[in-house]
Structure 1
């Protein structure tokens, strides 16, 4: 018994720290790291990318120091904007757990919705379901005069929202056909890849002359005995193959046929669409990565922007508002500046530019302080319908439906100039100043999307077929893709900045009836719809994971997305030359005596090299006799040095029959892989000197 008591006492003394609640059997030394599993490891093993602790706590400690977002319970790191957004970005889903999200802490001037969304107090009892669950309209006063009471629910709909295209009553009573009676949209005309029958019917061009009449009047099988390839290559971009009846377009190896007549290079990464940004394809395997400023989500592999949460900024009849991409914070930015119009965000200055088509004006409002009044930037315009900010050169571009043009001005509106004129029905505009591109959409009778340099020169059509009414465009800069939404086709599509690799990503789903605004961010596409009065989002690759971000938006108008990653710092190419400037690129767009262009700013001259002194101190002028003496001395020294050089060179030639040019000369030649490094078998003094002069030119 005595022996047993001693054993128990020894055990208690050895485990006293653990029994007292310290959680460790022994304390680690100063140069060691204490794992949660009570193991001690050298501190140099912490944050080395390996889980040296069995529980991985040495790498969790690393993320806690380096992660600027949310640290998952398993040690992963995701952007703060991914927290509680309805999608599990952590591998263990800890970013969406109830304990992590909990009850949202709203600001003093915000209302806490039952859906955990925070909305401005001014949205309370305004007749619109801003919370998404109706909690901001619960327990409000009875309907006022002129309002419409929904049957059953008793909800009040303001008269201004009656028959506005969006159902505000649960049963849609405020949008009944007998009350509103909207006519269906007109049928679109045939696409360029289709054949128009004599009866007006549209059939695919590949059905022409296939020995099977597809038109009601059989006009697709007439005049099929001619060789169409002899005239304009049959309209084929590459190969035209004549058939006994009709013809076929074909493509060389490594390319594929699109729209029956065009060939484009095959891009496996864009075809597979498995990567959010960077993609490397080797032997059927895809490796994904992210650009600087983004972090790859460990759960989904999507590239999520670091830093602050992204904001969706939109205009409506109630003014300019913003909501974060998770849909949890919804606020007013500015009061109304007229009818809902286009938007553009300058992230660095935290400002939003808003167009007013009725007034022919553009205003500037603060992205953060809704108490500030809108500032008039430009007036006397026609009808601005599209806006874009060039954050590199400090320019504002807009499309004008009345003057049918694309114009530009400095951000302060001090000057202006029309760059593109005689358009049909311009709508949206976008810029990519890092590559020097300007894009715009035209939804006229010959609908198209075009590209030019940012001075309006070098126009190039990107989309001309299977497009009817492109009302908005947006850029996915990390992937060099342009997205557009077609209100007639009710689709969202994309294409490369070179006009290739076209794909439709979202098709009509009940929320693309009358789309207006469009934005692309991270792995998602955002758009506004006037008929359903909603802000929607879906996967940018294929339209999956569709979600209504905000419903019951009053007269949805322009749409933009604000985040620093969308407007990265850098040096944009300067004009049509496509080169980078050693100093800075200066836009020279507003001179009436010269064509608009961009040019590099010349480097500042050194004060000691001023050849045009304007002050009392004049340049020193030597007497003629002194100048002549110096000249004679220079000539004499040159002759002596030349003789010494020839004497030394001959000595070197005797000691070696073969030499190689000096390393600096060889290095300069090797910069061009098509020019080999020359080696001389003898010592040609004259040839070597000539070669040095040529390379140093």
Structure 2
């Protein structure tokens, strides 16, 4: 059996003839597996995805893999943590979950791309591979079947359908280092952070790109991660500069501090009464009770390294959710982009004479 090594992480592993990694053969720094002694049993292929257990799970990125931690309520079942998806030689930055098709999406900056795979098992598929500089944030609108992403090299925010088709630049002005992005599909709102060191900010707009507004531009330095809880209408962010987690209600603009004294938070997600964030310096997933405003738990991976994006997967989409694009694509030929009280049919940037743009109020 052939062997593959990765110098930057100091690990080697055996490979199947089809180029897939053989589970259980990866070794630590300074040692190599004896691949010649490995005799495969049964098929020589394996699923690239190990399905997470039923229920809610935290999904987080570390090196060339995405791991899952099962959740029992708001408690992390740390002893049951497993690698869900192996992605050797990749640096996964952002992860997002589509509750409709049970797919995980991620961005990779080694050969810049956006990919996806079913969490039920299957082959990862790259859906966007061209004209990307450094895709660092990704968000899914599971109702309209669209995805949004940030690119901190081209300084753009883009949107496409979930298969990567009908790609359109939503914003390409007044952006310096756009990082995190999050959707509120029910209300047709979009939020993103820009950690421009001279003028950091958190912005919002409608999901069709209208009504762009600066939501926060004071008392922040490096707003790395964003999370939105539709039940409490709390938009929360993790700031690696002032080392705080704060939240704001974008409808009332009431802002509050949740916890401070963090080390270097990167990504954040809300689930129930807890916030979970990844921390580069602690190399951990940290759980915070955002009601009590205190840290309650942490998960330290066995192999320590920087942790990147974190999100949640759950067995069913939240109930009673709809938007104006969730039925028949709103009647749009290409992109259906919701906004409060209506939606907009938009065309991709690539010319398509069959596309018709229109606004629709409900």
Q: Give the TM-score of the pair, scaled to structure 2.
A: 0.74
Give the structure 1 partner of residue 119 of structure 2.
Answer: 367
Q: Distance in 2 between matches of 1:515 and 1:505?
A: 14
Conservation of the 8 A alpha-carbon contact between 2:246 and 2:257: yes
Q: 2:200 aligns with which of 444, 447, 464?
A: 447
Q: Distance in 2 between matches of 1:361 and 1:416?
A: 14
Q: Which structure: greater helix fraction?
A: 1
Q: 1:460 aligns with which of 213, 219, 222?
A: 213
Matched ranges for 1:530-545 at <5 A: 530-545=280-295
Q: Distance in 1 between matches of 2:291 and 2:356?
A: 40
Rate the CA distance shift 1:457–1:401 in 2: closer, same or farther, 3 A. same
Matched ranges for 1:507-522 at <5 A: 507-508=260-261, 512-522=262-272
Please list the CA deviations of residues 539-585 of structure 1 after superposition, one character each: whole Å capped at 9, or x if unmatched: 012432520134344331111111256654532257677326xxxx6
Matched ranges for 1:262-273 at <5 A: none
Secondary structure of 1:343 counterpart = strand
Q: 1:579 aligns with which of 337, 341, 345?
A: 341
Rate the CA distance shift 1:500–1:379 in 2: closer, same or farther, 3 A. same
Conservation of the 8 A alpha-carbon contact between 1:589 and 1:598: no
Give the structure 1 partner of residue 80 of structure 2.
Answer: 329
Please identify runs of 4+ aligned residues in structure 1 that moved more than 3 A.
121-127, 143-146, 550-554, 564-569, 573-577, 591-601
Conservation of the 8 A alpha-carbon contact between 2:345 and 2:356: no
Q: Distance in 1 between matches of 2:259 and 2:301?
A: 19
Rate the CA distance shift 1:587–1:394 in 2: closer, same or farther, 3 A. farther
Note if 1:317 corresponds to 2:54. no
User: How far apart are residue 456 of structure 1 and its match?
Assistant: 1.0
Structure 1: stretches of 5+ with no match in the other structure: 1-120, 128-142, 147-306, 602-697
Q: 2:259 aligns with which of 496, 500, 506?
A: 506
Note if 1:590 corresponds to 2:345. no
Give the structure 2 partner of residue 483 of structure 1.
Answer: 236
Q: Distance in 2 between matches of 1:362 and 1:396?
A: 10
Rate the CA distance shift 1:522–1:126 in 2: closer, same or farther, 3 A. farther
Matched ranges for 1:104-123 at <5 A: none
Matched ranges for 1:421-436 at <5 A: 421-422=172-173, 423-436=175-188
Note if 1:352 corresponds to 2:104. yes
Conservation of the 8 A alpha-carbon contact between 2:57 and 2:68: yes
Conservation of the 8 A alpha-carbon contact between 1:455 and 1:589: no
Please list the CA deviations of residues 134-168 of structure 1 after superposition, one character each: whole Å capped at 9, or x if unmatched: xxxxxxxxx8459xxxxxxxxxxxxxxxxxxxxxx
Q: Distance in 2 between matches of 1:527 and 1:597?
A: 40
User: How far apart are residue 373 of structure 1 and its match?
Assistant: 2.5
Q: Distance in 2 between matches of 1:597 and 1:529?
A: 44
Conservation of the 8 A alpha-carbon contact between 1:387 and 1:398: yes
Q: 2:95 aligns with which of 343, 346, 354?
A: 343
Q: 2:360 aligns with which of 578, 596, 599?
A: 599
Conservation of the 8 A alpha-carbon contact between 1:333 and 1:368: no
Conservation of the 8 A alpha-carbon contact between 1:340 and 1:556: no
Q: Distance in 2 between matches of 1:411 and 1:497?
A: 27
Q: Distance in 2 between matches of 1:567 and 1:376?
A: 27
Q: Distance in 2 between matches of 1:322 and 1:505?
A: 25
Rate the CA distance shift 1:499–1:386 in 2: closer, same or farther, 3 A. farther
Q: CA RMSD in A?
A: 2.9
Q: Which structure: greater strand fraction?
A: 2
Larger Rg: 1
Rate the CA distance shift 1:473–1:596 in 2: closer, same or farther, 3 A. farther
User: How far apart are residue 125 of structure 1 and its match?
Assistant: 8.5
Q: Give the TM-score of the pair, scaled to structure 1.
A: 0.40
Secondary structure of 1:557 counterpart = strand
Secondary structure of 1:344 counterpart = strand
Secondary structure of 2:81 counterpart = strand
Structure 2: stretches of 5+ with no match in the other structure: 1-21, 33-52, 326-336
Give the structure 1 partner of residue 39 of structure 2.
Answer: none
Matched ranges for 1:163-312 at <5 A: 308-312=54-58
User: How far apart are residue 455 of structure 1 and its match?
Assistant: 0.9
Q: Distance in 2 between matches of 1:434 and 1:557?
A: 27
Rate the CA distance shift 1:310–1:541 in 2: closer, same or farther, 3 A. same
Conservation of the 8 A alpha-carbon contact between 1:407 and 1:419: yes
